[in-house]
Amino acid sequence: MSTKRNTFRHRTLPYLLIAPQLVVTLVFFMWPAAQAVIQSFQQEDAFGLSTTWVGFQNYQALFADPDYLNALKVTVVFTLGVTAMSLGLALLLALAVDRMVKSATVYTTLLVWPYAVAPAVSGVMWWFMFNPTIGIFPYLLRMVGYDWNHGLHGTDAMILVVLAASWNQISYNFLFFVAGLQSIPASLREAAAIDGAGPAKRFWTITLPLLSPTTFFLLVVNFVYAMFNTFATIHATTQGGPAGSTNILVYKVFNDGFIGLNLGSSSAQSVVLLFIVIALTVVQFAWVERRVQY
State which of positions 225-284 bind another protein (CB under 8 A).
228-229, 231-232, 235-236, 250, 253-254, 257-258, 263, 266-267, 270, 273-274, 277-278, 281
Task: Check binding of 203 to another protein (CB under 8 A).
Answer: no
Pick from 247, 271, 285: which is nearest to 76 by CA? Answer: 247
d(CA 104, CA 257): 47
Task: Check binding of 119 to another protein (CB under 8 A).
Answer: yes
Task: Check binding of 171 to another protein (CB under 8 A).
Answer: yes
Shortest distance (Å) from residue 245 CB to another protein: 20
d(CA 48, CA 72): 28
Task: Check binding of 92 to another protein (CB under 8 A).
Answer: yes
Pick from 137, 136, 170, 164: which is nearest to 236 by CA? Answer: 164
Shortest distance (Å) from residue 98 CB to another protein: 8
Task: Check binding of 116 to another protein (CB under 8 A).
Answer: yes
Residue range at the interface with another protein (CB under 8 A); choices 43-51, 68-76, 149-157, 185-193? 185-193
Task: Check binding of 3 to another protein (CB under 8 A).
Answer: yes
- Is the Cβ–Cβ distance between 176 and 202 less than 8 Å? no
Interface residue with another protein, options 13, 152, 208, 243 (CB under 8 A)? 13
Task: Check binding of 293 to another protein (CB under 8 A).
Answer: no
d(CA 22, CA 262): 31
Shortest distance (Å) from residue 174 CB to another protein: 8
43: three-class secondary structure by DSSP: strand
Task: Check binding of 39 to another protein (CB under 8 A).
Answer: yes
149 phi-psi bin (left φ>0, alpha ψ -120 to 50, beta other): beta
Shortest distance (Å) from residue 196 CB to another protein: 12
Evaluated on CA atoms 75, 80, 85, 87, the torsion sign reads positive
Interface residue with another protein, options 80, 115, 141, 184 (CB under 8 A)? 115
- Is the Cβ–Cβ distance between 247 and 71 less than 8 Å? yes
End-to-end CA separation in angstroms for the chain: 20
Bridge partners of residue 53, in order along the sequence: 42
Residue range at the interface with another protein (CB under 8 A); choices 59-67, 75-83, 148-156, 168-176? 168-176
Shortest distance (Å) from residue 52 CB to another protein: 18
